[in-house]
Homo-oligomer: A and B are copies of this chain.
Amino acid sequence: MLQRRLLQQGARLTATRSGDVGGAVTVLDSATAPERLRDIHTLIFDCDGVLWRGSDIIRNAPEALRVFRQQGKRLLFVTNNSSKSRAEYASKFGSLGLEVSPEEIVSSSYCAAAYLSSIGFPASGKKVLLLGWSGVEQELQLAGIPFIGGRELEVPAMDNIDSMKQLKVDPSIGAVVVGWDPNFSYSRLVYASVCLRELPGCVLVATNTDCADHIGGGRMMPGTGGLVRCVETAAGATAVNVAKGGEWLLPYLCRTYNLDPSRTAIVGDRLDTDIHLGRQGGLFTCLPLTGVTTLERLRGLPVGELPDVVVPSVAQLAGLD
């Protein structure tokens, strides 16, 4: 029995080499995993929980990417995090020793702008009300989409009914985009709700609907999902989720990057976003155990919801350790 210590904070896994470790879940290793990617041309990587955790690189992740590139595979990096732009993400990759270009990065901040472009929003002459952070701001600017909100608080205080009755919103707003927003407030909620209820054709876009994210030390921080549910409930609207977990992203990726789903794999640690996206589109699905999903959780799943491959980490998927 080969004892294998994971780099994952907290959880530890002891598994036999390629052994069955409970029910239908088999954890492959560096000897058996690479063969499963032989016919794969494109690898779509989730980032947090796969390549890094917070500010800690997963062991041998940079080397794994180099191996895949040497094999001639195309790499894409798709993250539901909306706080950074593509350019900001490229800096983060570089600082962790990962060689990645901005064009290979599909952050949900970028997806929000790409979705609006795909529906012709930039030519509409309309503005976005942004409940979000710098990443979405930068991507909207690059796509030529004007916005109000973002990091600047421009909403009057809505602390009584009279202020809400008298509120006049900018009538040129045509979309509300909700991302991770540490400036989220009741006043912003009122403004967004009035736009969505009263401005004809105003659409609601969610950068993602993730409920919460691990930030280390066993702590979780509220994700964008709660903010989206809040706006949806108050406005009686349904958001378009442009990230993993939604319906828009995969057809967009296939169209834009000319992907053949049968030759594409997704490597991600979340069942509800990464593995869901992959199964939804007929992709090959790989789950490394360096993120939020534990072996215990996998053991409880019906076979139809399991990923195609489970590996201790992305290193084993590349034949490394």
Contact = CB atoms under 8 A, between A and B. Distances in A.
Contact of A193 (B157, B187, B222, B235): B222
Contacts of A38: none
Interface residues of A, number: 42
Given A215-B161, A225-B234, A229-B230, A186 B189 contact: no
A183 B186 contact: yes
Contacts of A194: 219
Interface in A242-256: none
Contact of A221 (B161, B212, B231): B161
Contact of A189 (B190, B226, B231, B234): B226
Nearest to A163: B182
Contacts of A198: 219
Given A165-B217, A182-B160, A236 B212 contact: yes
Contacts of A221: 161, 164, 190, 193
A142 interface: no
Contacts of A216: 165
A158 interface: yes
Interface in A179-219: 181-187, 189-190, 193-194, 197-198, 211-212, 215-217, 219
A54 B161 CA distance: 9
A186 B186 contact: no
| Identical copies of this chain, number | 2
Nearest to A158: B182
A189 B216 CA distance: 18
Contacts of A227: 186, 230
B220 A193 contact: yes
A229 B233 contact: yes
Interface of A: 54, 157-161, 164-165, 181-187, 189-190, 193-194, 197-198, 211-212, 215-217, 219-223, 225-227, 229-236
28 contacts: A158-B182, A164-B215, A165-B216, A182-B186, A182-B187, A184-B185, A184-B186, A184-B189, A185-B185, A189-B222, A189-B226, A190-B222, A193-B221, A194-B219, A197-B219, A197-B220, A212-B236, A222-B234, A222-B235, A223-B234, A225-B234, A226-B229, A226-B230, A226-B231, A226-B233, A226-B234, A229-B229, A230-B230
Going nearest first, the 8 A-B pairs with the smallest beta carbon separation are: A222-B234, A226-B233, A230-B230, A226-B234, A159-B182, A226-B230, A229-B229, A184-B186
